[in-house]
Amino acid sequence: MTDAAPLADESGNAKAYSVSELAFALKRTLEDAYGFVRLRGELSKVTNHSNGHVYLTIKDERAAIDGVVWKGQVRGLQVRPEQGLEVIVTGKITTYPQGSRYQIVIETMEPAGVGALLAQLERLKARLAAEGLFEAGRKQPLPSMPAVVGVITSPTGAVIRDILHRIRDRWPCRVIVWPVVVQGEQAAAQVSAAIRGFNQMTPDGAVPRPDVLIVARGGGSVEDLWAFNDEGLARTVAEGRIPLISAVGHETDTTLIDFVSDRRAPTPTAAAEMATPVLAELKALTSDLGARLHRGGGRVVEERRGRIEAADRALKRVPDLVRLAEQRFDIVSGKLGAGLARNAAVHERELVRVSARLSPLLLQRPQAVQGQRLESLVARLEPCMTRRLDRLSERLESLAKLYGSVDPDRPLQRGFARVARADGSLVHAGAGLVSGEAIAITFGDRVTRQAVVDGAGGDPPPLPRPGRRAKSDGPPQGDLF
């Protein structure tokens, strides 16, 4: 611990470290001493975290060490971390101070030999097969006469030259080459991008979409062909809508893409032969079919000619055929009159039998029943109508009384009068009238008289009492006594 604090204080006692000081001092010491480590072991407890990091444990028969792959390094790994896979990793040793554990931060990971690669491939193959990606029912048929062929391969090398030469000899058509690398870390991604790019083309675009695709690569070791065992590439092939032929390696080489593709070719040249027919063979086949069609037409003509000749020989005996039909007609016409007579007799007997059961009683009986029902209904209906008319009469009388009580002319019969202004509005109070205003007075006999208001409002003068003489303003009368 070169950068740690002094081991003793002024009193000569050992220095008391804090937990954090000791933990980070150990962290710096391990990182300085083991800044680059190459480690071989078996993976276990592999955990793919939601944030993209991968946590795992590397172990052998006697020890184990925790490891972590940060998400920025996951894409660059040569193999996918899986449980039980034997790998060789490189990285640096560090500690996790919160838990006082040391671990390795992995930067690269590669399989520890071909056996590990094949074991990983078998596990991936079993998983994809369980998902149904290898089933024959989902594979598309190849077009018989493609107009455009798409080739995904390296633009350099013998593979593309062999494919182009073979297609040119067999079936002259348009070939579109999508150049990619076919080995290394970028190979799987570029091949997947090429397959998706071809599938996104349209038939009527500037560059027409191919009718069939060929993914080709020459032979090589397992490590050289490992890019074609990528899971993402296999799923891209399975999702494609264009039929695809896999031609990776030689006949004995097998990769994951061979199981997912629609057809597998042992060599790139064989893939070109699968994708295209032979023009010369088609011409020969067309010529042979034309000859067969001509011979078949000749046989049909000969057959029709024989049938016409046979019919002609039969037509020579037309009088015999007519006489036979005439004889049958005479026999049938002779039986027709008797048959009509028998039919009429049968219907006559049936009419007599039915008419015997017909009598006026059949009509009178339902009529009598309906008459009785009508009389019963009339007898029941008359009291109901009487009661209803009585109720309606009572109601009409009550409405008449109500109408009389609200008749505005009824009070006039008792000595009252109705006063109205010139505009027809009723006068409810005398205070509302002014001197000189014209009014109309209606009496009990429905006679209306016109009048003019005179004088100011106030109480009316008292009426003279009967039997007494009203006082006058004249001179007082003398007394007789």
Q: Over the chain (481 residues), what is each successive 10-residue block's mean pLDDT?
A: 51 74 83 84 87 90 88 83 84 83 88 69 86 92 94 91 92 93 90 95 90 92 83 93 92 87 93 91 87 90 88 68 78 85 89 77 80 87 88 90 78 80 83 84 83 69 53 50 40
Q: Does 326 lie in the same domain as 229?
A: no
Q: What distance in Å separates the CA atoms of residue 215 and residue 187, rounded to the nearest whole number?
A: 12
Q: Does 157 lie in the same domain as 252?
A: yes
Q: Does 267 lie in the same domain as 311?
A: no
Asked if residue 362 is part of any domain, the answer here is no
Per-residue model confidence (pLDDT) at position 264: 93
Which uninterrupted H or E stretch holds 86? strand 86-96
Asked if residue 140 is part of any domain, the answer here is no
Q: Does 152 lie in the same domain as 273?
A: yes
Beta partners for residue 57, in sequence order: 44, 66
Instruction: Return the structure tokens found at 92.
Output: 């640096």
Q: Does 162 lie in the same domain as 101?
A: no
Q: Does 78 lie in the same domain as 57?
A: yes
Q: Does 226 lie in the same domain as 324?
A: no
Asked if residue 400 is part of any domain, the answer here is no
Query: Which among 112, 132, 164 is the end of a domain?
Result: 112
Asked if residue 355 is part of any domain, the answer here is no
Instruction: State the DSSP string of 181-206.
Output: --SSTTHHHHHHHHHHHHHH--TTSS
Instruction: Name the DSSP letter for residue 142.
Output: P
Per-residue model confidence (pLDDT) at position 470: 47
Q: What distance in Å separates the CA atoms of residue 425 and residue 438, rounded to the nearest whole number?
A: 12
Q: Does 197 lie in the same domain as 254?
A: yes
Instruction: State the DSSP string of 375-425.
Output: HHHHHHHHHHHHHHHHHHHHHHHHHHHHHHHT-TTTGGGGT--EEEETTSP
Closest C-alpha among 217, 212, 213 to residue 154: 217
Q: What distance in Å separates the CA atoms of residue 456 and residue 25, rounded to the nearest whole number?
A: 125
- Kindly report the pTM of this predicted structure: 0.46
Q: Does 213 lie in the same domain as 196?
A: yes
Contact 150, 138 (CB under 8 A): no
Query: CB-hemisphere CA count at 13 Å for 108?
Result: 10
Per-residue model confidence (pLDDT) at position 1: 42
**Which residue range(s) make up the domain with 432?**
412-449
Closest C-alpha among 61, 60, 56 to residue 44: 56
Q: Does 265 lie in the same domain as 195?
A: yes
Asked if residue 358 is part of any domain, the answer here is no
Query: Which among 112, 135, 157 is the end of a domain?
Result: 112
Q: Does 162 lie in the same domain as 46?
A: no
Cβ-Cβ contacts under 8 Å for 81 (sequence gap 6 or more): 43, 46, 54, 56, 69, 87, 109
Query: CB-hemisphere CA count at 13 Å for 79?
Result: 26
Asked if residue 365 is part of any domain, the answer here is no
* Residue position matching structure tokens 């509302």: 432
Asked if residue 205 is part of any domain, the answer here is yes
Beta partners for residue 111, in sequence order: 87
User: How many beta carbons lie within 10 A of that of residue 237, not counting itself?
Assistant: 24
Side chain identity at 148, as an amino acid letter?
V
Burial (CB < 10 A; 0-12, 13-18, 19+), residue 134, is middle
Asked if residue 78 is part of any domain, the answer here is yes
Q: Does 252 lie in the same domain as 162?
A: yes
Closest C-alpha among 324, 348, 135, 124 to residue 228: 124
Tally of domains in the chain: 4
Any idea what the CATH number is for the domain that residue 99 is in? Answer: 2.40.50.140
Instruction: Return the structure tokens found at 22.
Output: 């000791």
Per-residue model confidence (pLDDT) at position 196: 95
Any idea what the CATH number is for the domain that residue 165 is in? Answer: 3.40.50.261
Query: Which among 235, 260, 277 is the end of a domain?
Result: 277
